[in-house]
Each structure stands twice: as C-alpha cells, then as structure tokens.
Chain A
Amino acid sequence: QSVLTQPPSVSGAPGQRVTITCTGSRSNIGTGYAVHWYQQLPGTAPKLLIYDNNSRPSGVPDRFSGSKSGTSASLAITGLQAEDEADYYCQSYDNNLSGVLFGGGTKLTVL
C-alpha cells in the first residue's frame, strides 16, 4: 500500500526542538526517491520547506532541516518559534501510484 505515515500532531515550547517523522515503504522512500517537506499556514497554499531530502530553498531558516534513512525521513525544527505553528506535510514519489504521494500531515503546536 502506498502511504506516507506522519504523526497527527506534535508540540513543543518556544526554543525547543521537535521532529516530525515520515514513514514510507519500498515503493517510495525506500526506492531512493527524494523526500520533500511543506509548511502550510491556515488559509494559504503550501510552502516548500525542504526539498531533495535535506536542501532548503532560499529564505527558509536553517532552524529547519531534513534527513532520510531507509524507508523513513524526518523534519527537525530547532529553536521553536510561535510562527512555526502550522501543518507540515512530507512528500515523495511512489512507483505503485506512478505519481506523487503526500503524508497525512502533522499539526505543530507551539505551547
């Protein structure tokens, strides 16, 4: 089954570090396809946060970092700020789907 699994929610206090995991399978992340991460604020289109596993687009703070290993990937956010409160999605390509696959999304709450 072609699924990318994320925790529904994570939380942390300002200044803390949080990680969001994205678990896939051999038909997607495990094949070697890149993992990308998006941040979505309410009422807005998603914004690319991390591309190709661990690269940041221009303008994205280095508090955001990505990693990938085997069939999983992670997004780490350090020095949490109130403005980081948003929904976060991982994405990869899937051979079974012959298309792009999104994770279910994780809501980050800054306490």
Chain B
Amino acid sequence: EVLLVESGGGVAQPGGSLRLSCEASGFTFGHHAMHWVRQAPGKGLQWVSLISWDSSRVSYIGSVRGRFTISRENSKNSLYLEMNSLETDDSGFYYCATKADRYTSAYGGFDFWGQGTLVSVSS
C-alpha cells in the first residue's frame, strides 16, 4: 500500500519559517518526481513545487520562488519543503503527491496523495 505522510505543519508568524516533511512508503520513492500542492481554507488546489527523481530539476510557483526550497533524501524516502519569509497567503493544507507512472510523474495526474499538513500563518 502506498502511503504519503506529511508532517511539520503548525502556526507561524508572518516572516517566520516552517519545514514540512513527507515520508513515503509502498513504492520506489527514488524513481518518482514529487510535488507539493496546497489548498487555502475554502479555496482551490494550487501546485507549489516539484522536484525530479534525482533532484536535478526543481520548479516553483512564482509566489513562493525565493522563499521556499524543495528537497528530497531518497535514502530516507523523504521529501521536504523549507518555507521561509512566510506570508498569510501561505496558510492552508499542504499535500505531497506523485503519480504511479514514474516516467510522467513530473507532469501531473497524481494517483498518490498524503493526508495533508496544516500551515497557519498569523500574527
């Protein structure tokens, strides 16, 4: 069974930092691109960032570029999102996700999602 388990969410002040983690099991983590997707309360889904299987390629949505850093440790089956200079608009559930087909996992079609971790940025 594929499992993605996020952790690290919580309350932070504007300008603060949080580090999210996603622990994967049930598939060959090191073969797949991984993504972070967020959802503000009552709002739609928003893709945040992706990292290729070997970390050679990363990409971010414009609103977080320069503030967030995605990384992974394939030896630990783990994905991370370092979030700095947090803004109130960064609040919401953060999901890690990937696709079963590793060859197209960078392009969407996410079969596998975690349960999400809640980030709340407030003064």
Number of A residues near B (Cβ < 8 Å) is 26
Interface: B3 (CB within 8 A)? no
Is there contact, CB below 8 Å, between B107 and A34? yes
Q: What band does the interface of chain B fall in when counting residues whose beta carbon is under 8 Å from A?
A: 20 to 34
Interface: B91 (CB within 8 A)? no
Nearest CB in chain B: distance from A13 CB, A:
26
Is there contact, CB below 8 Å, between A93 and B114? no
Q: With the chains together, A27 CA to B73 CA distance in Å? A: 32
Interface residues of B (CB under 8 A from A): 35, 37, 44-47, 49-50, 59-62, 95, 99, 104, 106-111, 113-116
Q: List 24 A-B contacts (CB under 8 A).
A: A45-B95, A45-B113, A48-B109, A48-B110, A51-B111, A52-B109, A57-B111, A87-B44, A91-B47, A91-B109, A92-B108, A93-B108, A97-B47, A97-B61, A99-B50, A99-B59, A99-B61, A100-B47, A100-B50, A101-B47, A102-B44, A102-B45, A102-B46, A105-B45
